[in-house]
């Protein structure tokens, strides 16, 4: 309550204080009265704060911690004695493994106004734990909800929803004891794939044997990535097909069809590779022989070799303007999907839908959220790829970080260039109708 008075000298001051105290009582102010306000100065025509309540302390929102999955990033290790191409593609969990948790929101601390009335705090929000109920369970433990795996498998996310997917694990080799594999999930092979055998999976395939693969018939991932720790010596009979990216130590005498990027640790020799991009990562990396057929770019330390092995590099090229438009459209669609998802989550969080009387509506809302998250994850993946493609010089490029040798033929957007002498550190693009170093 704030009062003003003009008669502030002599006896009028004590009268004023009495008037204020009477006014306080009549106004039913009984809490937070500031006694020092009556002892200090009472300046003319100036508001004086004489009572102050306690504001409520609002509760904290629930805190969520989840199992973390990093994007695949191969680790290249090389020195005079060893070279490795390490990657953890499949994230294994067992029954009962921790997948995430949510602490309860706090209720907050009540406040009080100057009339002695309690001011209720706003309770913290309880953010939803989103998970696949077929493979993940929620357990109440003290003041938190904890997520555990219901089965052995590979943990992965679709948007915010965590799930455990089926994994076929082969502890040794794919051979006559195992037979050809065609599995609707993830495949993890600890050894190798013997000659003439094949492996097909819906999701990621990880072949972690240090000796690689030699002469296998086919390795195919319908929707995921493939990682081959030890490389592939295909003997001109192995075919590799993958929807996303291929990560491999080396490729020799093999045919590859990849809708994403082929990451090669050390070298590709006499290989046919069809992909968006091909990147040989080692500072001593090499592409020699064969045909590399890429949409966007090819990147290697060396292209060709001292023996002048015939090597063909074909860059189909891309329309930068059209690709930028595609990125803008996908970005716009991504924003709309995220807005839809936010609305659905708010509806779910509000608790307006009773799970007993509106079971069908609740299930439908969960399904809508799941599908939106799946679309968002796919769009984010595609947007990131296009952003990386747009970083490529020109409308397609061959990037040679060290040496390009004679008898390498470069084709970019159907224009060709024969390399007749050794050149150092060049990036070739199509400029003014001809292939030229950048």
What residue spans define the domains of the chain?
2-49, 64-164, 167-247, 320-390
Q: What is the 3-state secondary structure (H, E, C) of 282-312?
A: CCCCEEECCEEEEEEEEEEEEECCCCCCCEE
C-alpha–C-alpha distance, residues 96 and 365, integer Å: 28
What is the reported pLDDT for 424? 94
Q: With left for phi above 0 and alpha for psi between -120 and 50, is residue 159 left, alpha or beta?
A: left
C-alpha–C-alpha distance, residues 294 and 276, integer Å: 5
**Tens digit of each residue's pLDDT (9 = 90 or more) over 403-420:** 999 999 999 999 999 999
Quick count: other Cβ atoms within 10 Å of Cβ 221?
25
pTM of the model: 0.76
User: Which residues are within 8 A (CB) of 286 and not within 5 positions of it... i.e. 6 or more apart?
Assistant: 266, 267, 268, 269, 280, 300, 301, 302, 303, 305
**Tens digit of each residue's pLDDT (9 = 90 or more) over 191-223:** 999 999 999 999 999 999 988 999 999 999 999
Q: What b/e sequence results for 378-388 when a residue is b if at least 16 CB atoms lie within 10 Å of its CB, and e otherwise?
A: ebeeebebbee
Quick count: other Cβ atoms within 10 Å of Cβ 160?
20
**Block means of pLDDT (10 residues each) for the chain, length 438 residues?**
49 74 85 78 74 88 88 74 73 93 91 90 82 92 94 85 91 93 94 95 94 94 94 96 96 97 96 97 95 97 96 95 94 93 80 61 80 87 91 94 97 94 94 89
What Cα–Cα distance (Å) separates residue 361 from each residue in 73, 192, 367, 371? 41, 48, 10, 15
Nearest to 222 by CA among 237, 209, 240, 241: 241
What is the reported pLDDT for 318? 93
């Amino acid at each position: 309550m704030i009062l003003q008075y003009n008669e502030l000298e002599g006896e009028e001051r004590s009268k004023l204080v009495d008037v204020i105290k009477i006014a306080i009582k009549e106004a039913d102010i009984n809490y937070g009265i500031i006694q020092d306000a009556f002892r200090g100065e009472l300046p003319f025509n100036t508001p004086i704060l004489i009572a102050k309540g306690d504001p409520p302390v609002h509760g904290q929102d629930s805190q969520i911690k989840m199992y973390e999955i990093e994007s695949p990033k191969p680790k290249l290790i090389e020195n005079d004695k060893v070279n490795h191409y390490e990657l953890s593609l499949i994230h294994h969990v067992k029954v009962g493994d921790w997948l995430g948790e949510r602490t309860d929101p706090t209720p907050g601390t009540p406040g009080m106004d100057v009339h002695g009335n309690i001011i209720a705090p706003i309770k913290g929000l309880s953010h939803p734990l989103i998970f696949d109920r077929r493979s993940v369970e929620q357990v109440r433990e003290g003041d938190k909800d904890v997520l555990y795996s219901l089965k052995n498998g590979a943990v992965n996310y679709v948007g915010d929803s965590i799930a455990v997917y089926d994994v076929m694990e082969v502890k040794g080799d794919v051979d006559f004891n195992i037979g050809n594999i065609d599995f609707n999930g993830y495949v993890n092979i600890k050894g190798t794939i013997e000659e003439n055998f094949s492996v097909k999976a819906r999701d990621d395939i990880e072949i972690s044997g240090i000796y690689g693969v030699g002469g296998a018939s086919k390795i195919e991932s319908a929707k995921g990535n493939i990682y081959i720790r030890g490389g592939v010596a295909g003997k001109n009979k192995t075919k590799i097909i993958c929807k996303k990216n291929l990560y491999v130590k080396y490729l020799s005498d093999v045919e590859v069809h990849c809708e994403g990027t082929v990451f090669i640790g050390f070298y590709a020799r006499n290989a046919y590779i069809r992909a968006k991009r091909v990147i040989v990562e080692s500072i001593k990396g090499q592409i020699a022989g064969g045909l590399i057929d890429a949409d966007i770019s090819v990147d290697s330390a060396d292209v060709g070799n001292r023996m002048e092995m015939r090597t063909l590099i074909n860059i189909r090229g891309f329309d930068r303007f059209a690709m930028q438009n595609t990125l803008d459209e996908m970005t716009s669609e991504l924003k709309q999907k995220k807005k839809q998802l936010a609305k659905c989550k708010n509806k779910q969080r509000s608790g307006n839908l009773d799970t007993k009387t509106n079971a069908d509506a609740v299930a439908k809302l969960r399904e809508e959220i799941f599908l939106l998250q799946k679309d968002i994850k796919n769009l984010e993946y595609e947007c990131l790829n296009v952003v990386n493609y747009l970083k490529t010089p020109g409308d397609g490029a061959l990037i040679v970080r060290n040496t390009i040798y004679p008898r390498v033929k470069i084709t970019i957007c159907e224009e060709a260039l024969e390399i007749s002498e050794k050149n150092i550190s060049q990036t070739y693009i199509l400029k003014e109708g001809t292939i030229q170093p950048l």
